[in-house]
Structure 1
């Protein structure tokens, strides 16, 4: 049997614990192959059991082909594949796992151990000031930094003058993947908690920087001023355009055309109505016809008529 001694996987990802086997009679063995996976203790009951006949040509079945479950077998035992698939690994999945195989008619079984290591990048869930009623080390107030990660990160404290000395820092482990670090805090101090591990680092400062809030506030004021200025400019331009436009009277008559229409038939002219605009000021209008002969060829000629306003 061959296994992966240690498997590392980031939290939230799927993990595969590799396990494979072979035996001398594998080519002509037709019995049942039983696969068992055990967690934490070697003698604990298996949490996953599947079996398949070595000569079967169909699907795996027998609990080996389950899908969508937290744990399932990845691979075909008939080909010596016994790997375990752990979906969406979490910190609770950390620990020892045992791969075991049993062959029908064989008294001896094979079992090997491996480790699943779920990693978590360092984080700082909280950074706050706590009161100390006992006045530990003469400090009534402490700045407390909560850090999480796997492996557990190291914690360091920074101030404006540099790194704080180790004798001011109190750090204790508060769980498998959590620790708490505290330093005495005086009002007005600006301190930074920094956590680091081989997976990365994180840091937080107390009190939190207000630079972002100030920038947002200034940006909001500038935006309001620009909007007000734009609205005032639009109002001013509309008012100026309204005063500059000449008044329009409803009874205003349209401008008279510079030229009169020309008709090819005198009967049309007789029915041409005079408009009020056709009458000159202080005079009457008499409609007369004038004509002009236009010779296009020697054989033909046309007469064109046009109304003419004659003032009396």
Structure 2
């Protein structure tokens, strides 16, 4: 009797051992992803009945605690290897990435945030099997260093000195260095650092109206900002130079216009038509057929039209206008 029991125990151990050896689950220990991007947490499994198993496959994803309630669950009946299953069709924050019927249990997380930075657990359950298999993976959300704000804190009622504070963000948390106007690190400042959340740091130093720069640096990069801001000074200089250039252009334009007006005022209007008369004299087309014409210049004095209409009215000597001399061509026929 004991021999039969021993035989059953040995066979059970062989079968159980073969099943346990055939089971396998693979995950990535650590997954890095920048904030705001999509990420896939890889997870896959194999089991001894995978080729002919037609039952239900259930994948569960847990966060932070190995015995926590699943935040994502999906089940697929493994009776067909054709077509898509509903778990991969979701457009929500979480969905599967792969086919459960082929042992692909990976989780897709869309638009990762700092709150997603934790330990995840991938679990698989087969219908009719009481035992489940589970492994963990660490999601590490990264944030490049950046300076969120720089401001001056005025002295309070407690008599604290005036301070310049710099709020930085980064994951991993960056190191903060204070620099002088020449870019040299300042060693003798009383620096106070205070962490504000998992990825924010507030650093401050005494401030006496000098130019200081705050530099945040980590293995992902660096960011730097100065106070007062350099672009403010540059903007003021640019505006001043532009205004000076516009003023110079206006002065040059005014001088040119003034000189032109002076030249026009100095020119005499009496001989304004002399060039036109000379051109007529030189044109041969003005000669009549069969005769010779000699053009001579004559002039006459014309009085103001208003004066001729009122001949009986005499103007004062101070108001009399000067006569206007006009030149005109006259044809002189020679016999």
* Change beyond 3 A, Cα 1:55–1:206: same
TM, length-normalised to structure 2: 0.66
How many residues align structurally? 259
Equivalent-residue separation in structure 2 for 1:219 and 1:50 (angstroms): 67
Superposed CA offset, 1:216-236 (max 9, x none)? 213422442465368558857
Hey, which of these two has a bigger chunk of helix by percent?
2
Q: Write out aligned runs for 1:1-312 (5 A).
A: 1-67=25-91, 69-130=92-153, 131-135=155-159, 139-160=160-181, 162-165=184-187, 168-186=190-208, 188-209=209-230, 210-225=232-247, 228=250, 232=254, 281=331
Secondary structure of 2:83's counterpart equals: coil
Equivalent-residue separation in structure 2 for 1:83 and 1:233 (angstroms): 79
* Change beyond 3 A, Cα 1:228–1:160: closer
Hey, which of these two has a bigger chunk of strand by percent?
1
Contact 2:81 2:101 in 1 (8 A): no
* Range moving further from structure 2, 210-219 or 14-23: 210-219
Q: CA deviation at 1:120?
A: 0.6
Secondary structure of 2:96's counterpart equals: strand
Superposed CA offset, 1:241-287 (max 9, x none)? 9999x989xxx9xx88959xxxxxxxxxxxxxxxxxxxx9466xxxx
Gaps of at least 5 residues in structure 2 are 1-24, 287-329
Equivalent-residue separation in structure 1 for 2:103 and 2:248 (angstroms): 73
* Change beyond 3 A, Cα 1:219–1:56: farther
Equivalent-residue separation in structure 1 for 2:58 and 2:255 (angstroms): 85
Contact 1:192 1:206 in 2 (8 A): yes
Equivalent-residue separation in structure 2 for 1:247 and 1:94 (angstroms): 92
Equivalent-residue separation in structure 1 for 2:101 and 2:264 (angstroms): 92
TM, length-normalised to structure 1: 0.70
Equivalent-residue separation in structure 2 for 1:146 and 1:105 (angstroms): 56
Contact 1:31 1:104 in 2 (8 A): yes
